[in-house]
A = this chain, B = another copy of it.
Amino acid sequence: MAVTGVPRATAVAAREVAAPARLARSALTRRALVGPDADRWFADRSAAADLAVRHVPLDGLTGWHTDPRTGDLAHDSGRFFAVRGIEVTVPDQEVSHWNQPIIHQPEVGVLGILVREFGGVPHLLMQAKVEPGNVNGVQLSPTVQATRSNYTGVHRGRSVPYLSHFLDVPGERVLVDVRHSEQGAWFYRKRNRNVVVEVDEDLPVLDGFRWFTLGEVHQMLARDNAVNMDARTVLACLPFAGEGIAAALAGDGGGRGDGFRAALARSCEPGAGSAHTTGELLRWISEIRTRVDLRTAPRPLAGLSDWRHHPDRVSHRTGAFFDVVGVAVHAPDREVAHWAQPMIRPCGLGLAAFLVTRIGGVLHALVHARAEAGCADVVELAPTVQCTPANYRHLPARARPRYLDAVLGARPERVRLAVTQSEEGGRFYHARTRHVVVEVDAPDGAETPRHRWVALHQFVDLLRHSHYVNIQARSLVACLYGLAVR
């Protein structure tokens, strides 16, 4: 946007225009200009992590109570979160009616990353953090991840380091500030603030923190369960310009030798082509949101017809989907050293997969407009396939989600990404999702009334707003960014 006549606005606009190119420098820098070696630092942090988790009965969670009338699980303070029941109706959908437990967490938390330039290269202050639900101790996390209860002191713990940098910030230092949804199948309309703030001053690097280049973070994204969900959603909101990337790839032979990476780099360029204009995508989403009559109604957790209550868990009568379980945590290094809480434990490894293709030389991903119980606005754009494949293993092909077989049966040389990432370890126990990107030819006919091809620069446009791109798709976008320069 051309901004004239208002010096401050002109300066802000110039900063906004320059940001993607500056971040591209960071993405192309494979080693931080300050601090210890990344691998050694991460290994040290993993060794030092000290957190013990044991399963406890749901009615024995210290600080929590079961409502005698509804069976709902809530914290004694009334804060943090609660597990309640919900009944969902989506007419004209394959499964059009169901009930389930769901987490209510109305507080908007902060997922914040601090950025600072060293030697002209932006660095991200990341944290090695352990969470009770993680399959492996520590994962790379944002500078700050805190619920309002955390930072308003409800839990009476130590204060959250670096939090003040994300409160009352001058607008021109903010690179990203947008509230995004989290898992719509497990959270009822949960939103967190994804925020990136730039600082100029020297900051103490506390124990457990390190400055990373975007290039280093991207390398970590290629490893299983190394970068946590809270970091991935913020990384998806950090656009870096394709031009610098494309030039660098051309310089090292990537632009010519590797058609996929060149198409991916072009897809990041704001002016690159697309199969549909962004206006068309918005109108398509509006039309679906008008047509799909998603209705939800609160239900007592104890009264869900499809769910069974056991002392140690609440489970679906088929054993599928997920369990609600209780854990007691001992974490001497955390703000609070002891606590108990309910968690969601999914049954089986999830799958989040994009089919991608080149259209006019620009890489596009096939998104699915998906309605979930917790969606605040009917549908969000999800991966081409998002499901737990084990639930469908014994079903005939026609009962399986569209494109599931195309993903599972892809020839190895067409698989551009295959990595397992963890869902948020503060609410989900051992929840992992296989992230897969498969390149396909011949996009004609791939679109359905609910599927559209979207270029990466269009994700950048959409991710400036809430309600458009779901957490699984954002996680895949972050991983795709990682592929561009790896």
On A, residues with C-beta under 8 Å from B are: 1-6, 9, 12-13, 16, 106-108, 110, 148, 171-172, 174, 176-179, 193, 195, 271-280, 282-284, 286-287, 289-290, 293, 295, 359-362, 376-377, 464-467
Contact = CB atoms under 8 A, between A and B. Distances in A.
Contacts of A278: 1
A360 B279 CA distance: 29
Contacts of A5: 273, 359-362
Given A1-B271, A283-B174, A377-B376, A108 B290 contact: yes
Contacts of A148: 293
Nearest to A457: B1
Nearest to A2: B271
Q: Which of A278, A283, A464 has the most CB of B within 10 A?
A: A283
B177 A287 contact: yes
B171 A286 contact: no
A178 B283 contact: yes
Contacts of A174: 283
Given A5-B362, A110-B290, 5 more contacts: A6-B360, A106-B295, A282-B464, A465-B465, A466-B467
Nearest to A298: B298
Given A178-B282, A282-B464, A467-B466, A6 B275 contact: yes
* Tally of this chain's copies: 2
A178 B277 contact: no
B283 A9 contact: no
Contacts of A2: 271-273
A91 to B, nearest CB: 11
B286 A9 contact: no
Contact of A9 (B178, B274, B466): B274
Contacts of A282: 177-178, 464-465
Nearest to A172: B280
A6 B455 CA distance: 13
Contacts of A9: 273-277, 280
A82 to B, nearest CB: 13
A466 B286 CA distance: 9
B3 A290 contact: no
Contacts of A272: 2, 4
A34 to B, nearest CB: 28
Contact of A279 (B16, B284, B287, B361): B16
Contacts of A290: 108, 110, 179, 193
Contacts of A271: 1-2
Given A283-B178, A376-B376, A465-B465, A277 B193 contact: no
A290 B194 CA distance: 10
A253 to B, nearest CB: 24
A466 to B, nearest CB: 7
Contacts of A177: 282-283, 286-287
A1 B376 CA distance: 29
Nearest to A270: B1
B4 A360 contact: yes
A293 B151 CA distance: 14
A290 B168 CA distance: 12
Contacts of A286: 177-179, 193, 195, 466
A4 B273 contact: yes
A245 B13 CA distance: 26
A359 B8 CA distance: 12
Nearest to A14: B277
A222 to B, nearest CB: 30
Contacts of A193: 286-287, 290
A177 B289 CA distance: 11
A317 to B, nearest CB: 29
Nearest to A280: B171
A359 B7 CA distance: 11
B6 A274 contact: yes
B467 A467 contact: yes
